[in-house]
Chains A and B, each alone.
Chain A
Amino acid sequence: DIQMTQSPSTLSASVGDRVTITCRASQSISSWLAWYQQKPGRAPKLLIYKASSLESGVPLRFSGSGSGTEFTLTISSLQPDDFATYYCQQYNSYSGYTFGQGTKLEIK
């Protein structure tokens, strides 16, 4: 099975900061990676699919990059609404999906 490892687990930042979250796959997943944002008590929201494609309606300050085994989610200028938990997800494996363990983005 493909394992997904996110870093850091927790990130403290301020409004206006540029932040980057990393996701590593245990084997190559090409570009079959998605990023989600989840707020407490809510369902996850799709931000990025196929590693770098921005989902419709998602602000342009969100971007994704990478391929193979290493991927990043970047928020160019943090807004108050962006403090949440972020998950990566691979969908390359014929055995199904795997999520990363999550990165909690906190206000510094």
Chain B
Amino acid sequence: EVQLLESGGGLVQPGGSLRLSCAASGFTFSSYAMSWVRQAPGKGLEWVSVISGSGGSTYYADSVKGRITISRDSSKNTLFLQMNSLRADDTAVYFCAKGRSQLLFLDAFDIWGQGTMVTVSS
């Protein structure tokens, strides 16, 4: 079964750091681009970052550029999101998501994790 399982969320003070993980199973992890998407409480979906299957290409939303780094470890089938200089408006559920096709860097997301909550508050 294709599955994504996020972890690492929690409560962090403004200015702090957090590292999210997304464990993948059931597919050839290194063949697919992966993304992080977040959703603030009661709000819509916001794309955060994408990384290619090889890890060689990354894009970031303007709202997180310079503060967040996406990476992946294909030996462990795991996607990461390192978040620094966190602000209150980073408070959200963070989902990892798998690109649908091996052929496209940017593609629809066919598999999503259940999400992990990040709360930035003093």
Contacts and interface: CB of A to CB of B under 8 A. Distances in A.
| Mutual binders A and B | yes
A46 B59 contact: no
A55 B37 CA distance: 20
Contacts, number: 65
B54 to A, nearest CB: 17
B45 A55 contact: no
B100 A96 contact: no
Interface residues of B, number: 24
B50 A49 contact: no
Contact of B109 (A1, A44, A92, A95): A44
Interface in A34-71: 34, 36, 38, 43-46, 49-50, 55
Taking chain A's interface residues, is the majority helix, strand, or loop, or is none over half, making it mixed?
A: loop
B11 to A, nearest CB: 20
Interface string A75-100: 00000000000010101111111111
A82 B114 CA distance: 20
B61 A96 contact: yes
Sort A-B residue pairs by CB-CB distance and give the 3 closest, nearest first. Answer: A34-B108, A43-B112, A49-B108
Given A1-B62, A49-B107, A87-B45, 17 more contacts: A44-B37, A44-B112, A46-B109, A49-B108, A55-B108, A89-B108, A91-B107, A94-B59, A94-B106, A96-B50, A96-B61, A96-B106, A97-B106, A99-B37, A99-B44, A99-B46, A102-B44
Interface of A: 1, 32, 34, 36, 38, 43-46, 49-50, 55, 87, 89, 91-102
